[in-house]
């Protein structure tokens, strides 16, 4: 950032200031989870079609994983499974200074993949009759969502992001609203309570009428954590650990609490923030109370595949609750095309060989993507340690294509579709992806939507960006 490099030429500072403004606008417009535009018949339970299960071509998977590193990602580590057959791979560096290599078994901050775990815990309590998905949230936590909104917003709306409640991240990291990243460093070791973060999101203007539209918001999943606390009398992170993580048999997945360190083998995690942090800075030590039940989990790609397989096979939820989890709302791009279908804490998207289910996640310096065939047999999970590596054009009006986006998409398709899949179309867009212009309220930093915890995985940026629905 320029405040760290006062000697840079004025013209370069001005260009970076313009870029900062555009980045802030893009964040304020909201970035949805990963999606590649694909047709949809509307809300559904897409379980009939399973991806092709061509054999795991380990040499090709290794080549395509290395291509992600060669395209500019510092390090990537992944696990692919087809039944009992497994590929574990890694490419690149865990530390750019020492050139320590990454390993497939690294622990990693998985961001909003956490939402799938939280949703399972909520649905487990629903199966026990303690939570009614269509009951107003104000019945459970009136102190956190008071008044008319508390009577209109249901638990289901929190789960599928149709509550219309705004995100808290901009107020939790206020410099982001001004297009700078000082807050990331200022709050590195801060401990913050869920109620404070929820208060930020609830205090912002409602994005839409409850139930009317899809708006991705991390506030929804902190509220769900507090609903779990109210109905069970237990800390929600401990509850999820007992009822979801341990029940799924996961060995390397945990909530870090206030501990900023990742324990066990892991990579350094570098954040570029579209060039505002130059060179990218290591944020692998971070107090993750700012993410909580919306995105604080640490896991491995092996554990994520185990979790989603157990979920989709029906080992974590009764069939009724699993069917509700896979009942989706359409998420459309700026042209009105369905880019993905969001359920209750998981989403469905299309691949060259059929629909898959899962979630993605992004925190400062760490990106994750985990997708599985509808039956949980064919699976792909990847972690990578350089985030927001894309750049804006000179005018600060568009995100430029990045070769890592195409490499990520090619690896995903190889992993999920195998050798039987048709060759993917060219991944790079024909033109730069537009960065949205700031609305007047965004320029003032007052009433605009704020950045969600999830960053779209690199492959998602090769498709039309998911627009904030109005």
Choose between 400 and 174: higher pLDDT: 174
Helix (H) or strand (E) holding 358: strand 354-363
User: Which pLDDT belongs to residue 165?
Assistant: 98
DSSP character string of 70-114:
HTT-SEEEEEEEETTEEEEEEEEEEETTTTEEP-TT-BEE-GGGH
**The two three-digit tokens of residue 425, written as one number:** 């179309």
- Give the residue from 417, 381, 422, 424 showing the smallest Cα distance to 53: 417
Average pLDDT of the chain, as a whole number: 83
Which pLDDT tens digit goes with each residue over 126-140? 999 999 999 999 999
Residue predicted with more confidence, 437 or 377? 377
User: Could you give phi then psi for residue 88, rounded to 5 degrees?
Assistant: -115, 125
Contact criterion met (CB below 8 Å) for 118 and 316: no
How far apart (Å, rounded) are the C-alpha atoms in residues 306 and 92?
A: 25
pLDDT of residue 246: 98
Q: Which token pair is 54?
A: 């061509």
What confidence tens digit (pLDDT) does each residue in 92-109 have? 999 999 999 999 999 999
More confident residue, 441 or 212: 212
Structure tokens at 152: 């209109």
Region 201-207 average pLDDT: 97
Mind listing the pLDDT tens digit for each residue in 306-353?
999 999 999 999 999 999 999 999 998 878 889 899 999 999 999 999
- Give the predicted TM-score (pTM) of the model: 0.85
Q: Are 361 and 112 in contact (CB under 8 A)?
A: yes
pLDDT tens per residue, range 38-72: 323 333 333 333 444 457 999 999 999 999 999 99
Cis peptide before 128 (omega within 30 of 0): no
State the catalytic residues: 112
Rounded distance between C-alpha atoms, residue 136 and residue 146, angstroms: 11
């Amino acid at each position: 950032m320029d405040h760290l490099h006062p000697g840079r030429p004025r013209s370069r500072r001005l260009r970076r200031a313009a870029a900062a403004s555009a980045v802030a606008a893009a964040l304020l417009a909201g970035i949805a989870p990963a999606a590649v535009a694909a047709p949809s018949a509307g809300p559904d339970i897409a379980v009939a079609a399973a991806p092709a299960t061509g054999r795991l071509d380990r040499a090709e998977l290794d080549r395509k994983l290395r291509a992600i590193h060669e395209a500019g990602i510092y390090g990537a580590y992944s696990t692919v499974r087809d039944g009992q057959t497994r590929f574990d791979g890694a490419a690149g560096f865990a530390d750019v200074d020492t050139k320590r290599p990454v390993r497939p078994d690294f622990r990693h901050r998985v961001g909003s993949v956490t939402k799938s775990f939280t949703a399972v815990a909520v649905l487990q309590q629903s199966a026990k009759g303690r939570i009614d998905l269509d009951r107003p949230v104000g019945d459970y936590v009136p102190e956190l969502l008071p008044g008319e909104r508390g009577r209109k917003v249901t638990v289901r709306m929190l789960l599928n992001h149709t509550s219309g409640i705004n995100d808290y991240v901009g107020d939790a990291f206020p410099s982001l609203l001004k297009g700078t990243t000082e807050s990331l460093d200022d709050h590195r070791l801060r401990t913050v309570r869920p109620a404070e973060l929820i208060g930020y999101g609830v205090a912002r203007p409602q994005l839409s009428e409850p139930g009317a539209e899809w708006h991705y918001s991390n506030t929804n999943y902190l509220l769900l954590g507090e609903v779990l606390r109210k109905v069970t009398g237990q800390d929600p992170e401990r509850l999820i650990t007992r009822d979801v993580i341990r029940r799924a048999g996961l060995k390397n997945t945990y909530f870090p609490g206030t501990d900023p360190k990742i324990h066990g083998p892991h990579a350094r995690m570098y954040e570029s923030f579209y060039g505002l942090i130059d060179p990218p800075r290591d944020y692998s030590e971070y107090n993750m109370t700012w993410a909580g039940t919306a995105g604080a989990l640490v896991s491995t790609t092996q554990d994520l595949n185990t979790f989603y397989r157990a979920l989709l096979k029906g080992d974590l939820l009764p069939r009724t609750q699993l069917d509700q989890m896979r009942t989706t709302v359409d998420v459309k791009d700026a042209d009105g095309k369905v880019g993905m279908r969001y359920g209750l804490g998981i989403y469905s998207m299309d691949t060259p060989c059929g629909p898959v289910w899962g979630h993605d996640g992004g925190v400062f310096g760490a990106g994750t993507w985990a997708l599985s065939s509808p039956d949980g047999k064919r699976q792909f999970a990847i972690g990578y340690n350089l985030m927001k590596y894309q750049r804006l054009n000179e005018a600060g009006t568009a995100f430029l294509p990045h070769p890592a986006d195409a490499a990520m998409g090619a690896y995903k398709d190889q992993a999920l579709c195998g050798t039987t899949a048709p060759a993917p179309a060219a991944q790079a867009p024909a033109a730069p992806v537009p960065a949205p212009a700031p609305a007047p309220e965004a320029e003032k930093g007052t009433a605009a939507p704020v950045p969600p915890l999830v960053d779209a995985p690199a492959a998602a940026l090769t498709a039309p960006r998911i627009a904030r629905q109005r």
